[in-house]
Amino acid sequence: MRIPSCGSSCPEMAQNWSLLIVCILSGGSVATLLGSLYFEKGGKSKWLASLVQFVGFVILLPFLLISPKRPLTEEGYQRPNKPSAILLTSIYLAFGVFQAGGDLLSIVGVQYLPASTYSLVSASQLAFTALFSFFINAQKLTPFIINSLVVLLISSVLLVVNTSSSGSSVPKGKYTLGFLCTVAASASAALAVTLAQLFYRKVLKKATFEVIIKLIIPQSLVASCAMVLGLFASGEWKGLRKEMDDYESGKVSYVMTLVWTAIVGSSLRLGQ
């Protein structure tokens, strides 16, 4: 993600980017912990765990009223002719389905990997973002970025090599599956971010907070619908009542874990 140059709007832009950084750092860590807690205490539904990552988009609606209208990018593209409704709908549908698939992969990673391992592997999203941005958005690869990519790659490889000696209770096969799904989820999230930047630049010609939220809300709605369909098609919905009754920390904890996962998931999506 490229930070724009500052003019007279420097204080306002600094606040905006500070908000994004807080959302990414706090949302990512808390979402991982809540996801791990859900499965550790007896949660079993991958579709439900994925669904709650998206349904919290309703809390972003107030941001449409308070979000600054000034573009975040230094180009500040504005054009009178808006994209067609068909084009926007197609893009929202594509983004929503793509995000749903990526999130389902990440849930598999959360289920089978320790929280610390999952967080470290998920950091590979930064590497994928740099790579995709280089090819899609012509983002320059600086020595600092390249060094970070190498460190992330070495760390991820060491995690796989040391699986047998880690003492983890998760079978090696599931651990490897969780690792691969997490890497795939990181790659898909990075690609989604890169394509979103391309969408802002080539289609909308602007990138205000209002525009960003207007992209997040419909794609989250599409992803939520996809997860609901998966929940019913898989038959997992039949066991949700028993899952809540058998949850180790009780029904209230079960509900609050899902509620806060929804809230944090929307915060993380705003930061991305």
**Digitized pLDDT (tens) for each residue of the chain, 272 residues in all:** 443 444 444 444 444 444 555 555 555 678 888 999 999 999 999 999 999 999 988 888 887 777 655 554 444 444 446 788 899 899 999 999 999 999 999 999 999 988 878 887 887 787 788 888 888 888 777 776 677 667 666 766 665 555 545 556 778 888 889 989 999 999 999 899 899 989 988 888 877 778 888 889 999 999 999 999 999 999 999 999 999 999 999 999 999 999 999 988 887 777 66
- The whole-angstrom separation of Cα 102 and Cα 199 is 19
The 3-class secondary structure across the chain, one letter per residue, is: CCCCCCCCCHHHHHHHHHHHHHHHHHHHHHHHHHHHHHHHCCCCCHHHHHHCCCHHHHHHCCHHHHCCCCCCCCCCCCCCCCCCHHHHHHHHHHHHHHHHHHHHHHHHHHHHCCHHHHHHHHCHHHHHHHHHHHHHCCCCCCHHHHHHHHHHHHHHHHHHHCHHHCCCCCCHHHHHHHHHHHHHHHHHHHHHHHHHHHHHHHHHCCCCHHHHHHHHHHHHHHHHHHHHHHHHHHCHHHHHHHHHHCCCCCHHHHHHHHHHHHHHHHHHHHHC
User: Token pair for residue 168?
Assistant: 């983890």
The residue type of 165 is S
- The whole-angstrom separation of Cα 155 and Cα 151 is 6
* Alpha-carbon distances of 250 from 46, 59, 115, 134, rounded to whole Å: 19, 26, 22, 48
- The pTM of this model reads 0.79
Q: Give tens-digit pLDDT for 5-29.
A: 444 444 444 444 445 555 555 556 7
Q: Give tens-digit pLDDT for 158-186.
A: 655 555 455 567 788 888 899 899 999 99
Neighbours of 45 (CB within 10 A): 19
